């Protein structure tokens, strides 16, 4: 393990633009003759549509069109299937829904899209949308995943052969686990819940559809993490056109967190509407619409069991879980289902696991990926169990973890869920954290808190992440004048790619940073790309970029050999120069680049232009990487009021080779903030009628600066062995470990008072209620 | 948001006349409550009568035993005021607990007290200090002013011009803020005028802001110690899933103690 050495941070290339308000987001784009779309959303969680009366709305001022599901069918627009189903990752078949972009006769959640209005102005569109009259015949509603599996639960999809169950994923070895449980000295079982949370990107979703009738070609401007993915789904499934007939542009994007990894119906609706009215059509979500219509994250209930011996040896873990899919199997719902089980073995040598999760339809908004996507759920389960087990056998929770961590010598290590960790020093990380965080000095801090009437609790959390899905392509292309562009298949929407990728290329090629233009997010410019999510860009984008550089240099050597009149094999590249070994003959790369663009000369034979493209591959088919880390957390609780203060937060992260430590730490900070939100504040709630009761930021609590503790972040490098850069992901790390770190620390503080379980979010009211209930129990005893 | 007209009044009379003429008007001060309501469709006035350019509605002055704060005075100005800091520092401390910096830079005392949101802070101070609401046509005592949730004694076209706060010997405010909105789940304002104690509670009352008479009596009789451990279970408090009445009652108890501890 080494500490990264980094040059001083000099800011990010993109910061000037963002900080001076010069960023260009979708809503900043104003096109000539642009019209506006407003949504008519279902006000019922479950109902049949008996009729839709659009006459009043259609006659209102400024209205250009009112369109319904019947129009969708009449125009032959197709429904949207899931981006992929669990089967692609070796899971069960499952029932995948086909979601129409407007519903025709059956709404399945509040916020289902029923109709759209296109008008001259935003307000005219919205007023007319309110005037669309829908005759609903309400149906019974179910919002909870377990409730939806009851025999008498209302069914969402009549043709799903397994009722409201889409699929059940099983991993591990049931027989071996049963045996482990039978033989273990201690077993315990807990019910653990990761509630639904709202991704809440700073920039809400927004899109503009354009149809060029002359060419019969569409352009979609959309706030997306994955322009090519959007293009594929919309062109193939909805519009049924060649992909070349749809251009997707994602300019500056103000955060995604998984929400924008997959299209939403509006992305197709604006394109269709644009063709219908012959004008560009814009839609920008209001925050209320976002909370109602965006995909949500998490939403898993778990019955979790652990078996161990009194010496702390963990023998097995058994889990049955229920994932609340919402009304549709939508977008990238598959990864959370998988990762929530696959990462349960975590950093430990757990010999036997028996893991099951059921993906269930309910009358709620669809679930999809959200920063961490299943990994925080898995970490919550295993780390809660480890703390409960430690308390049960009276062992220091750090000691229990150290007894079970996978040793660095055991690498590569394959878990019982089939993940092969290439590298990592999980025990070493824990020991460093204990030292840096003064674990041994806790008793004194706890006593001091007691003197102030506060209960102090601590936790240590070990986590592992799996990063690097799908393949990626990057390109480096010189211009005729010797400047160059990086053409990225990844998509930065806050991650700082323009800075990091440009710095890498500047270093490799010894060219000035400001001669590099960074290009992303336009399907007309980028051949193909997968976008950015799941902490994939450093490994896949970085490796592909390195290979693009290698390819470019190989091609540059061809030209250098000709102009230096040397043997091709004797040309090598260093410090920005192509040199002939053993001679003083050399030519700068930028000069070679110019030669490649001359109207005559060697380029005639070699082909015009100097560029290089590279590909890198991850899971499935190639190895992902496994970032990992430790969080040490201390909290103080006021036993009278239930007020919680997160007092210490030490985050140690092995992110492999560090490309830019400041940007890495920024990712850790942001992830921990979202983890803290999940632990203490955030929860999407529906009432028994399926009405959203957390529909605005007046009710839905997002973490703010004032909620945040000081975060002490340390990066440690254990280079990844399965990619040439040695990098590991960073984007999701903080969000994976933080929720359980905070909850475990709170429980450590209040367990002596008899509070043994707390559901997230641990709000002050929830903790206060638990403390009062425990007090009554003590009084009664 | 619906389309609407806006009229920037330069006199109180002009504002009231414009309001009456139109028939579907609303007054606009800082707009921090009204504009979001219009955006979400909860309010749809045809005319906004902007009060912010009317002279004399903004500013803070100490007049003998009384602190006069113009209705158009912003929270940020209350926080920064030396008169407030010397006469009734608890008002400055309260203003600092309202919302966030952006809202405090625009939101006004008059807008808050005219709106009488049951979760807003200032009604607790108005009631506990026994302030007088000065309008374009009369003076209204605090005891007669708050008439229910979002309801006040103001007539539809009546403009709140200023508030007059009697200066107490001591006062303090303690608040439990909603973790999402920042509004008061419960807020307790205590004031002492000689031997007379007055306690105003906002955020939790079923009928809006109220005086905590149990606490006032206990304080009168036994001083600060006597206010410990009051039985607040009988109070008629809001009760919802996020903040059950039992929590609110307990919170009022500890906020009362915290406020008294500041004196
Ligand atoms: C994010 C956020 C957080 C907030 N948190 C808090 C909080 O913690 N505590 C708190 O107390 N408040 C809070 N508020 C409310 C804020 O303080 C109010 O917006 C403010 O008090 C209202 O003042 P205004 O000047 O903005 O009024 P406006 O929005 O302009 O008007 C509000 C209402 O009062 C009427 N009105 C305004 N002025 C007068 C007048 N002089 N005479 C008669 N009628 C008038 C208007 O017609 C309207 O109906 C919050 C608001 C926001 C947006």
> What CATH number belongs to A300-467+625-780?
3.30.365.10
Confidence at residue B234, expressed as pLDDT on a 0 to 100 scale: 87
Q: What is the DSSP string of chain B?
A: ----EEEE-SSHHHHHHHHHHHSSEEEESS-TTHHHHHHTTS---SEEEE-TT-TTSS-EEEETTEEEEETT-BHHHHHH-HHHHHH-HHHHHHHHHSS-HHHHHH-BHHHHHHHT-TT-SHHHHHHHHT-EEEESS-EEEHHHHEEETTEES--TT--EEEEEEEPPSEEEEEEEE-TTT-SEEEEEEEEEETTEEEEEEESSBTTSSEE-HHHHHHHHHH-GGGGTT---TTS-B---SSS-HHHHHHHHHHHHHHHHHH-
Closest partner residue to B180 among A123, A130, A699, by Cβ? Answer: A699
d(CA A342, CA A419): 7
- Residues A627 and A503: their CA atoms lie apart, in Å, by 22
Chain A interface includes B53 (CB < 8 A): no
Q: Which atom of ligand 1 is nearest to the CA of B181?
A: 3
How far apart CA A198 and CA A258 sit, in angstroms, is 11
Would you say A368 and A334 are in contact if contact means Cβ atoms under 8 Å apart? Answer: no
- Nearest CA residue ID for atom 23, ligand 1: B111
Tell me the ipTM for this assembly: 0.94
Boundaries of every domain in chain A: 15-139+202-255+260-293, 300-467+625-780, 471-617
DSSP 8-state symbol, A266: H
Tell me how far apart the alpha carbons of residues A104 and A107 are, in angstroms, rounded to a whole number: 8
- Owner of token pair 């009231």: B16
Distance (Å) from the alpha carbon of A762 to chain B's nearest alpha carbon: 12
Nearest-CA residue of chain A relative to B41? A127
Q: Which residue has the tokens 């990063």?
A: A467
In angstroms, the CA A231 to CA A218 distance is: 10
Instruction: Specify the DSSP class assigned to residue A148.
Output: G
DSSP letter for each residue of B30-77: S-TTHHHHHHTTS---SEEEE-TT-TTSS-EEEETTEEEEETT-BHHH
| Structure confidence by residue, pLDDT tens digits, B135-162 | 999 999 999 999 999 999 999 999 999 9
Distance B4 CA to ligand 1 centre (A): 19
Of A466, A465, A467, A462, the residue nearest A314 (C-alpha): A462
Residues with Cβ within 8 Å of residue B256, at least 6 apart in sequence: B174, B188, B190, B199, B212, B215, B227, B230
Residue B111 has, within 13 A of its CA and on its CB side, a CA count of 25
Q: Nearest chain B residue to A699 by CA: give it.
A: B180
Which of the residues A38, A285, A288, A641 would you substitute to probe the B interface, choosing the one with the greatest number of B C-beta atoms within 10 Å? A641
Ligand 1, atom nearest to B35 Cα: 29
Instruction: Give yes or no on whether A15-139+202-255+260-293 and A300-467+625-780 have one common fold.
Output: no
Closest of A502, A504, A539 to residue A520, by C-alpha: A502
**Domain A15-139+202-255+260-293's class?**
alpha beta
CA of B151 to the centre of ligand 1 (A): 14
Of B179, B204, B237, B257, which to mutate for an interface test with A (greatest number of A Cβ within 10 Å)?
B179
Say what the pLDDT of residue A779 is: 86
Ligand 1 center from residue B107 Cα (angstroms): 6
The token duo for A308 is 């161990």
Burial class (CB in 10 A: 0-12, 13-18, 19+), A770: buried
Which residues sit with their C-beta closer than 6 Å to ligand 1?
Answer: B 26-34, 36, 51, 71, 98-99, 103, 107-108, 110-112, 114-115, 120-122, 154, 159-160, 181-183
Is the torsion defined by CA of A70, A74, A75, A78 positive or negative? Answer: positive
Task: Please name the member of B1, B180, B254 whose beta carbon is closest to the beta carbon of A700.
Answer: B180
Report which ligand 1 atom has the smallest distance to the Cα of B183.
Answer: 8
Size of interface A-B (CB pairs under 8 A): 41
Under an 8 A CB cutoff, do A768 and B2 touch?
Answer: no
Q: Which residues contact B80 (CB under 8 A, 6 or more apart)?
A: none
Residue A332 main-chain phi, psi, to 5 deg: -105, 55
Q: Is there a cis peptide before residue A653, judged by omega within 30 degrees of 0?
A: no
Q: What's the rounded Cα separation, in Å, for the pair A260 and A265?
A: 12
CB atoms B247 and A765 under 8 Å:
yes
| Minimal-distance CA residue to ligand 1 atom 38 | B111
**φ and ψ at residue B217, rounded to 5 degrees:** -65, -45
Task: Identify the closest residue of chain A to B4 by CA–CA distance.
Answer: A123
The fold adopted by the segment(s) B5-49 is 3.30.43
Separation of alpha carbons B217 and B198, rounded Å:
9
Give the number of the atom of ligand 1 that is nearest the alpha carbon of residue B26. Answer: 47
Closest chain A residue by Cα to residue B248: A765
Distance from CA of B1 to the nearest CA of A (A): 6
Structure tokens at A37: 């779309």
Nearest-neighbour CA in chain A from B180: distance (Å)? 4
* Candidate from B3, B40, B246 with C-beta closest to A123: B3
The closest alpha carbon to A167, from A145, A189, A185, belongs to: A145
- Residue ID of nearest Cα to ligand 1 atom 21: B112
Sketch the domain layout of chain B as residue ranges: 5-49, 60-262
CA B243 to chain centre: 21
DSSP string, A51-68: EEE-HHHHTSTTEEEEEE
Q: What is the pLDDT of residue B41?
A: 86
Write down the pTM of the prediction.
0.96
- Let me know: does A316 contact A350? Beta carbons within 8 Å: yes
Q: Which residues of A161-194 are buried (b: 16+ CB within 10 A; e: fewer)?
A: eebbbbbbbebbbeebbeebbeebeebeebebbb
Q: What span, in angstroms and rounded, lies between the C-alpha atoms of A652 and A629? A: 5
Q: Which long-range contacts (CB under 8 A, 24 or more apart) does A158-161 make?
A: A160/A95, A160/A361, A161/A95
Q: At what angle do helices A661-680 and A733-750 cross, to 10 degrees?
A: 40
- From A130, A286, A641, residue closest to B254, measured CB to CB: A641
Q: Which tokens belong to A674?
A: 């979202």
Among the listed residues B149, B121, B111, B146, the one whose alpha carbon sits nearest the alpha carbon of residue B33:
B111
Query: Are A725 and A706 spatial neighbours (Cβ–Cβ below 8 Å)?
Result: no
CATH of B60-262, one of 3.30.1280.10, 3.30.420.40, 3.40.50.1820, 3.30.465.10: 3.30.465.10
CB < 8 Å to B39, chain A: 286
Q: Tokens for A740, please give them.
A: 């359980």
CATH number of A471-617: 3.30.365.10
Cα B108 to Cα B30: distance, rounded to the nearest angstrom: 6
Q: What are phi and psi of A620, to 5 degrees?
A: -80, 155
Q: Give the CA distances from residue A19 to residues A24, A612, B217, in Å, rounded to whole numbers and listed in that order.
A: 12, 33, 56
Residues of chain B positioned with their CB less than 8 A from the CB of A700: 180
Instruction: Give the pair of three-digit tokens for residue A82.
Output: 């899931």
Q: Retrieve residue A229's tokens.
A: 């993915």
Find chain B residues with C-beta within 8 A of A680's C-beta: 179
- A interface residues, B as partner, C-beta within 8 Å: 123, 127, 130, 286, 288, 640-641, 680-681, 685, 693, 697-702, 763-765, 768-769, 772
Cα B263 to Cα B258: distance, rounded to the nearest angstrom: 9
Distance between Cα A144 and ligand 1 center (Å): 38
Residue A47 to residue B11: CA distance in whole angstroms: 54
Q: Report yes or no: A66 and A116 within 8 Å, Cβ to Cβ.
A: yes
Cα angle value A41/A43/A45 (rounded, 5°): 110
Q: Residue B252, exposed/middle/buried by CB under 10 A (0-12, 13-18, 19+)? A: buried
Q: How far is B174 from chain A (nearest CA, A)?
A: 14
The chain A residue lying nearest B251, using CA atoms, is: A641
Contact A398, A439 (CB under 8 A): yes
Model pLDDT for residues B177-187, shown as the tens digit of each residue: 999 999 999 99
Of ligand 1's listed atoms, the one at least distance from the Cα of B74 is 25
**Short-list A106, A39, A35, A27, CA closest to A292:** A39
Q: Return d(Cα B10, Cα B62) in angstroms, integer.
A: 25
Mean pLDDT by 10 residues, chain A (781 residues): 74 90 96 98 98 98 98 98 94 96 97 98 95 98 98 97 98 98 98 97 97 97 97 98 98 96 97 98 97 98 98 98 98 96 98 98 98 97 98 98 97 96 96 97 98 98 94 97 96 92 96 95 96 90 97 98 96 97 96 97 96 93 93 98 97 94 94 98 97 95 93 94 93 96 98 96 98 92 71
Q: Helix, strand, or coil here: A726?
A: coil
**Whole-number Å distance between alpha carbons of B110 and B74:** 9
pLDDT less than 70: residues of chain B: none
A764 with B181: Cβ contact below 8 A: no
Which ligand 1 atom is the nearest neighbour of the CA of B36?
53
């Amino acid at each position: 393990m080494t500490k990264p050495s980094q040059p001083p941070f000099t800011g990010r290339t993109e910061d000037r633009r963002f900080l001076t308000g010069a960023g260009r987001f979708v809503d900043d784009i104003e096109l000539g003759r642009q019209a506006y779309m407003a949504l008519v959303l279902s006000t019922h969680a479950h109902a049949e549509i008996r009729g839709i009366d659009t006459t009043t709305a259609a006659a209102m001022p400024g209205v250009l069109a009112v369109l319904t599901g019947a129009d969708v069918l009449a125009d032959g627009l197709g429904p949207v299937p899931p981006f992929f189903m669990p089967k692609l990752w070796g899971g069960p078949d499952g029932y995948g829904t086909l979601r129409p972009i407007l519903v025709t006769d059956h709404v399945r959640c509040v916020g289902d899209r029923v109709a759209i209005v296109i008008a001259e102005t935003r307000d005219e569109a919205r007023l007319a949308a309110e005037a669309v009259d829908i005759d609903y015949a309400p149906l019974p509603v179910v919002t909870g995943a377990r409730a939806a599996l009851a025999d008498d639960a209302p069914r969402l999809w009549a043709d799903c052969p397994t009722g409201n169950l889409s699929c059940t994923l099983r991993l591990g070895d049931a027989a071996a686990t049963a045996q482990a449980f039978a033989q273990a000295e201690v077993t315990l079982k807990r019910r653990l819940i990761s509630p639904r949370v709202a991704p809440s990107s700073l920039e809400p979703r927004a899109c503009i559809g354009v149809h060029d009738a002359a060419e019969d070609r569409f352009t979609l401007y959309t706030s997306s993490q994955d322009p090519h993915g959007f293009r594929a789904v919309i062109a193939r499934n909805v519009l049924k056109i060649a992909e070349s007939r749809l251009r997707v542009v994602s300019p500056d994007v103000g955060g995604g967190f998984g929400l924008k990894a997959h299209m939403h119906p509006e992305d197709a609706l604006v394109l269709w509407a644009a063709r219908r009215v012959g004008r560009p059509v814009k839609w920008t979500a209001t925050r209320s619409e976002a909370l109602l219509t965006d995909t949500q994250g998490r939403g898993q209930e778990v019955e979790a069991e652990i078996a161990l011996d009194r010496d702390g040896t963990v023998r097995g873990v058994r889990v049955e879980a229920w994932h609340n899919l919402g009304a549709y199997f939508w977008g990238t719902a598959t990864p959370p289902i998988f990762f929530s089980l696959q990462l349960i073995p975590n950093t430990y040598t757990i010999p036997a696991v028996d893991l099951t999760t059921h993906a269930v339809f309910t009358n709620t908004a669809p679930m999809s990926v959200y920063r961490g996507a299943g990994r925080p759920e898995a970490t919550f389960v295993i780390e809660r169990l480890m703390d409960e087990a430690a308390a049960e056998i009276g062992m220091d929770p750090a000691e229990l973890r150290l007894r079970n961590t996978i040793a660095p010598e055991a690498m590569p290590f394959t878990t019982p869920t089939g993940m092969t960790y290439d590298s990592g020093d999980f025990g070493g990380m824990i020991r460093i954290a204990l030292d840096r965080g003064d674990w041994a000095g806790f008793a004194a801090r706890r006593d001091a808190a007691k003197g102030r009437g506060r209960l102090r609790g601590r936790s240590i959390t070990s986590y592992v992440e799996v990063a690097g899905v799908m393949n990626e392509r990057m390109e480096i292309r010189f211009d005729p004048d010797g400047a160059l562009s990086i053409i990225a298949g990844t998509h930065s929407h806050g991650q700082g790619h323009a800075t990091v990728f440009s710095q890498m290329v500047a270093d490799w090629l010894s060219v000035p940073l400001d001669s590099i233009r960074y290009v992303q997010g336009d399907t007309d410019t980028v051949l193909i790309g997968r976008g950015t999510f799941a902490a994939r860009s450093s490994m896949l984008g970085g490796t592909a970029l390195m290979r693009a550089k290698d390819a470019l240099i190989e091609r540059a050597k061809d030209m250098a050999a000709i102009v230096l009149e040397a043997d091709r094999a004797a040309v090598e590249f260093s410090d920005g120069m192509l040199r002939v070994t053993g001679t003083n003959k050399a030519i700068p790369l930028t000069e070679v680049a110019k030669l490649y663009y001359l109207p005559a000369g060697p380029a005639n034979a070699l082909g015009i232009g100097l560029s290089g493209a590279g590909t890198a591959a991850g899971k499935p088919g190639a190895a992902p990487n496994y970032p990992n880390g430790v969080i040490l957390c201390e909290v103080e609780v006021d036993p009278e009021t239930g007020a919680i203060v997160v007092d210490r937060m030490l985050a140690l992260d092995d992110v492999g080779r560090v490309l830019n430590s400041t940007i890495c730490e920024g990712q850790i900070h942001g992830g921990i903030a979202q983890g803290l939100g999940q632990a203490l504040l955030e929860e999407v709630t529906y009432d028994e009628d399926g009405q959203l009761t957390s529909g605005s930021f007046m009710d839905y609590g997002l973490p703010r600066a004032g909620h945040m503790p000081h975060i002490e972040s340390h990066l440690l490098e254990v280079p990844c062995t399965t990619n040439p850069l040695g990098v590991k992901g960073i984007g999701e790390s903080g969000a994976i470990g933080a929720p359980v770190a905070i909850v475990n620390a709170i429980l450590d503080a209040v367990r002596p008072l008899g509070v043994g379980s707390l559901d997230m979010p641990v709000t002050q009211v929830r903790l206060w209620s638990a403390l009062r209930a425990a007090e009554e129990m003590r009084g009664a005893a | 948001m619906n389309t609407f007209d806006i009229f920037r009044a330069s006199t109180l009379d002009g504002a009231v006349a414009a309001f009456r003429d139109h028939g579907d008007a609303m007054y606009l001060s800082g707009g921090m409550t009204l504009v979001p309501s219009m955006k979400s469709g909860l309010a749809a006035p045809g005319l906004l009568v902007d009060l912010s350019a009317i002279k004399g509605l903004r500013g803070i002055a100490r007049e003998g035993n009384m602190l006069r704060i113009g209705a158009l005075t912003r929270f940020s100005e209350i926080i920064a005021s030396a008169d407030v800091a010397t006469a009734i520092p608890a008002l400055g401390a309260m203003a600092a607990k309202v919302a966030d910096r952006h809202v405090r830079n625009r939101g006004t005392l008059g807008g808050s007290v005219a709106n009488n949101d049951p979760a807003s802070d200032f009604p607790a101070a108005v009631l506990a200090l026994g302030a007088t609401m000065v309008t374009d046509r009369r003076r209204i005592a605090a005891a007669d002013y708050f008439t229910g949730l979002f309801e006040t004694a103001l007539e539809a076209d009546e403009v709140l011009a200023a508030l007059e706060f009697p200066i107490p010997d001591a006062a303090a405010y303690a608040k439990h803020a909603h973790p999402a909105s920042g509004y008061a789940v419960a807020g307790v304002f205590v004031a002492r005028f000689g031997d007379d104690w007055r306690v105003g509670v906002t955020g939790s009352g079923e009928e809006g802001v109220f005086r905590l008479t149990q606490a006032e009596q206990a304080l009168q009789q036994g001083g600060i110690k006597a206010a410990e451990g009051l039985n607040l279970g009988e109070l008629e408090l809001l009760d919802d899933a996020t903040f059950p009445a039992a929590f609110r009652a307990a919170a009022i108890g500890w906020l009362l103690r915290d406020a008294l501890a500041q004196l």
